[in-house]
Amino acid sequence: MDIFVGIDGSGPGDNAEYKKEFADSFVQAYFKSGFFNRAYYVRGPGMLGGETPTLASNGLKWVQNKLIEAKRANQTYRIFLSGYSRGGAAVTEIAYQLKQDAIRVHAMLLFDAVDRSELPNSHVDTVPSNVAMCYHARRDPKAGSREMFGNCADSGEVPENYKQAFFMCTHGAMGGTPWKKAGASGKIEELTTAEKSAIVAAGSAAGIKGAMAAKREADRQDFTNVTLDMESRAGEKIKAWMDNNLSVSRQRPAT
């Protein structure tokens, strides 16, 4: 029995808008692939990420139920976990919780995993040793995208079981939700007007100098080094890289 759990990245609170924006996400593509006997997919949290702990808990419970099902049927199983952005943090937490019960994860497929959710008792900085193989596609720091986002799961307790690759694109393209327009400079600009205003407002507490410094910081965070052509080409490379890794993992027997 092949068991798959996919948790996507943060997006609009309105679910209809979210479904439209994430219709072609990489995590959802694997959920729909038909590769897995038992597959579970859930949208990612809202913009503030407060739902992330619940997403991890619900995903863990779903896996545990499938393991009971496999045991009753006397079936072997392989667990595949996939997550994008905060969803990557959630599935890494699932892997850690499974480790406590000595349950092996066959493969973990991460797309620019980010932990900005304050998961309680989180252990998502490092991929746990019960993961037979982790593949992590990450945005290249030179892209200048979402520089305030640090990656989690950026190493493995067993180094040889951890493989990563970097891609020159935005954080959005890393999950299969690329930007569709660029600014006047030809480069993609990521912050909304509301996000930039919030940064400036926060800096204004320190007076005019604080507001000016905040405006410079907002501009720095806004402008990436990525063109729309780079964004498109990187998306194709990310999917091809992960598809190949998944193919290799699917050929390996359960351990």
Mean pLDDT of 238-245: 98
Sole residue written with tokens 């079981």: 161
Cβ atoms of 85 and 175 within 8 Å: the answer is yes
pLDDT category of residue 13 using cuts at 50, 70 and 90: confident
Please tell me the predicted confidence (pLDDT) of residue 184.
Answer: 84
Q: Where are the alpha helices (DSSP H) in the chain?
A: 15-21, 26-31, 52-72, 86-100, 171-174, 193-203, 207-222, 228-251
Segment 213-233 mean pLDDT: 77
Long-range contacts of 139-143 (CB under 8 A, 24+ apart): 139/112, 139/166, 139/167, 139/169, 139/170, 139/171, 139/174, 140/166, 140/167, 140/168, 140/169, 141/166, 142/168, 142/225, 143/168, 143/169, 143/170, 143/224, 143/225, 143/226
Locus of tokens 């066959």: 106
Dihedral sign, CA of 96, 7, 248, 112? negative
Tell me the whole-structure pTM to 2 decimals: 0.88
Confidence of residue 213 (pLDDT cuts 50, 70, 90): low
In angstroms, the first-to-last Cα distance of the chain is 13
Give the start-to-end residue ranges of the domains of the chain.
2-178+228-251
pLDDT at 11 over 70: yes
Q: Domain 2-178+228-251: which topology? A: Rossmann fold (3.40.50)
Q: What is residue 209's three-state secondary structure?
A: helix
pLDDT for 121 equals 59
- What does the pLDDT average to over 128-150? 93
Alpha carbon 165 to its chain centroid, in Å, reads 14
More confident call, 254 vs 27 = 27
DSSP 65-105: HHHHHHHHTT---EEEEEEETHHHHHHHHHHHHHHHTTPPB
**Predicted confidence (pLDDT) per residue in 53-100, tens digit:** 999 999 999 999 999 999 999 999 999 999 999 999 999 999 999 999
Higher-pLDDT residue of 210, 158:
158
Closest alpha carbon to 138 in 169, 108, 167: 167
SS3 241: helix
Rounded average pLDDT over 201-230: 70
Instruction: Answer positive or negative: Cα dihedral of 126, 127, 129, 135.
Output: negative
Please give the single-letter amino acid code of residue 6. Answer: G
